[in-house]
Amino acid sequence: MDPTQYEGNFIRAASPADGVLLLGLCRPPVNAFHTAFWEELGATFATISDDPTVRAVVLGSSLKHFTAGLDLADPDIQLIGRGEDEAPRRAIKWRKHITQFQAAITAIEECSQPVIGAVHGLCYGLGIDILCACDIRYCATDSRFSIKEVDVGLAADIGTLARLPKIVGNASAVRELALTARDFDCREAERLGFVSRVVQGSREEVIVAACETARVIAQKSPIAIIGTKHLLIHSRDHTVADNLAYTVTWNATMLQSQDMQEAMEAFRLKRPPKFANLTKL
């Protein structure tokens, strides 16, 4: 893997272990997102999805905070509700813009490889959208969260309201947090089930913990890992019966993989299995 290919204007990249890609959001001072930032993030994950040398991804921050959310000084944000066109024409224009914005964050969820969100410091607004699109979420003890959009006159529109209720399974809590925009800390995030682990410390500690989990994942069969992620997302959006039927079709092919043979042979010989990368498209 060459992590430098994922370096951008606002993203730093490294490979702390075989098959593990560490991405750090990096737009000083607080990782506030403007159009070029979220476009770069979406394009990065679309590229990762086609890279067979990447087995697992950790998404963190290279700065003091994960993200303060939207950059309200972004000219695109400043233009909301303004312009010479009548309202319906402005709405059609903004519909396209918001759809593209949603797609950039959904690229994290649609990335073939598992993505672990590693949060420290502030995680406001768009940060919640981003985390909701991750597969696993860790946070440091100094983390502070907020669904901030109502404080700037918006309903959260990039994924939080669609995904968070399904993640935490507590409609009352989601409504309270979304309607008040109040801060909540690492322990409340854990109680809600929004994060699966709270790591004592800040950036360094949570990144280390996330990278270790990513390292373990990266040692597994890529066919099994990619299939598991894909089927879990399908399960969220379909009935049990639909998902079981879909899984039958999926595994009718995947059960024939060389990875299963390698796993069985490694178990018999009491050695660690070694799985080949997928073929690059």
pLDDT, tens digit, 9 for 90 and up, residues 154-210: 999 899 999 999 999 999 999 999 999 999 999 999 999 999 999 999 999 999 999
Q: Are 56 and 168 within one domain?
A: yes
272 in helix, strand or coil?
Answer: coil
Q: Are 67 and 119 within one domain?
A: yes
User: Nearest 5°: phi and psi at 114?
Assistant: -60, 140
Query: Once rounded to an integer, what is the mean pLDDT over residues 99-106?
Result: 96
Q: Is residue 277 part of a domain?
A: no
Q: Is residue 281 part of a domain?
A: no
Furthest CA-CA distance within the chain: 73
Q: Are 37 and 152 within one domain?
A: yes
Chain centroid to CA 120: how far? 15
Strand boundaries in 43-187, DSSP class E: 56-61, 115-119, 122-124, 136-140, 144-146, 184-185
CB count in 10 Å sphere of residue 75: 9
Q: Is residue 43 part of a domain?
A: yes
Q: Are 75 and 128 within one domain?
A: yes
CATH code at position 259: 1.10.12.10
pLDDT at 30: 97
pLDDT tens by residue, 246-274: 999 999 999 889 999 999 999 999 999 99
Q: Is residue 134 part of a domain?
A: yes
* Last residue in a domain, options 219, 236, 255: 219
Determine contact, residues 52/38, Cβ cutoff 8 Å.
no
CATH code at position 156: 3.90.226.10
End-to-end Cα distance, the chain: 16
Determine contact, residues 20/213, Cβ cutoff 8 Å.
no
Structure tokens at 128: 């919640």
| 97 pLDDT tier (thresholds 50, 70, 90) | confident
Full residue range of the structural domain in which residue 240 is found: 222-269
Q: Are 114 and 252 within one domain?
A: no
Q: pTM to 2 decimals? A: 0.94
